[in-house]
Amino acid sequence: MSTTAIVQARMTSRRFPGKVLATLEGRPMILAQLARLARAKKIDRIVVAISHEPSDDPLAEVITGAGYQLHRGPLDDVLARFIGASQATDADVIVRITADCPLLSPTVIDRVITEFERASVDYASNTLQPTYPDGLDVEVVRASALEELAEQQLDSDEREHVTLGVYRRPEMFTLHSVMDPRADRSDLRWTVDTPEDLQFVEWIYRALEPVNPDFDYRDIVALLDKHPDRSRTTEHGLRNAALLGKDTGAMRGPTTGPES
């Protein structure tokens, strides 16, 4: 099967406008994240899905200028944007990534894809029962499942949050939860929603990248174990803030990333 990572991004984040192009160690944050994503061994191709809005034109220039594939679609109907990107790449399997996770883990991504394949389900993620840090979120879904979902009567939240309609319908789609076998680190906050979050990520990159350009999840945890005073947790920002107060079904869903 063909596996495509679709990275959703836009410039008009409500909490930190333009964050995906904020400078992270001399480069736009999204390019640092895409370089990490490219290290995942079980992904065949990467496409960045942005909106048709003129506000995203600078983002389009950066993405195409760096040689990454780009797909543009509706601003608020992110589900339609994903389906368009999927069809443009003939994807059988979609790995959903949000563009505010510059500490994402290639090994965690590969593990979620592997468990998706072994379980033979429609949807697998490490967010249904979170045990990984906020910012290492990975969702894997069959492209056919998203197309089937799009034919249903969906509300605006299900159109915006892409997979919300999948895990709201366990009677329709088979689901699988992937958990960290070592420890529950779900209290850690590694996503970027504020300038303070970005400062934390910059510190991680400065501390680890010169020594090991391929630093990963366990390297970051080891660093924070040595410097617990530098850690950021859910006390600095609630997980799934954009979905709080909404009926997400029996299980928890993923962070909503730059669309929020």
Stated pTM of the model: 0.90
Query: For 66-82, what is each residue's pLDDT tens digit?
Result: 999 999 999 999 999 99
CB 163 within 8 A of CB 86: no
DSSP lists the bridge partners of residue 141 as 94, 123
Separation CA 151–CA 143 (nearest Å): 13
**Long-range contact list for 197-204, CB < 8 A, 24+ apart?**
197/16, 197/232, 197/236, 197/237, 198/16, 198/19, 198/22, 198/24, 198/29, 200/230, 200/232, 201/24, 201/29, 201/102, 201/103, 202/24, 202/25, 203/230, 204/103
Query: What's the fold here for domain 3-258?
Result: Spore Coat Polysaccharide Biosynthesis Protein SpsA; Chain A (3.90.550)
pLDDT confidence tier of residue 249, bands split at 50, 70 and 90: low
Sign of the dihedral through C-alpha 242, 240, 21, 189:
positive
Q: Say yes or no to pLDDT of 174 above 90.
A: yes
pLDDT confidence tier of residue 255, bands split at 50, 70 and 90: very low
Query: For 127-173, what is each residue's pLDDT tens digit?
Result: 999 999 999 999 999 999 999 999 999 999 999 999 999 999 999 99
Q: Say yes or no to pLDDT of 118 above 90.
A: yes
User: Which pair of tokens denotes residue 56?
Assistant: 């995203």
Q: What is the pLDDT of residue 244?
A: 43
Separation CA 30–CA 99 (nearest Å): 6
Query: For 24-64, what is each residue's pLDDT tens digit?
Result: 999 999 999 999 999 999 999 999 999 999 999 999 999 99
| Buried-state track 127-142, b at ≥16 Cβ within 10 A, e below 16 | bbebbbbbbbbbbbbb
pLDDT confidence tier of residue 256, bands split at 50, 70 and 90: very low
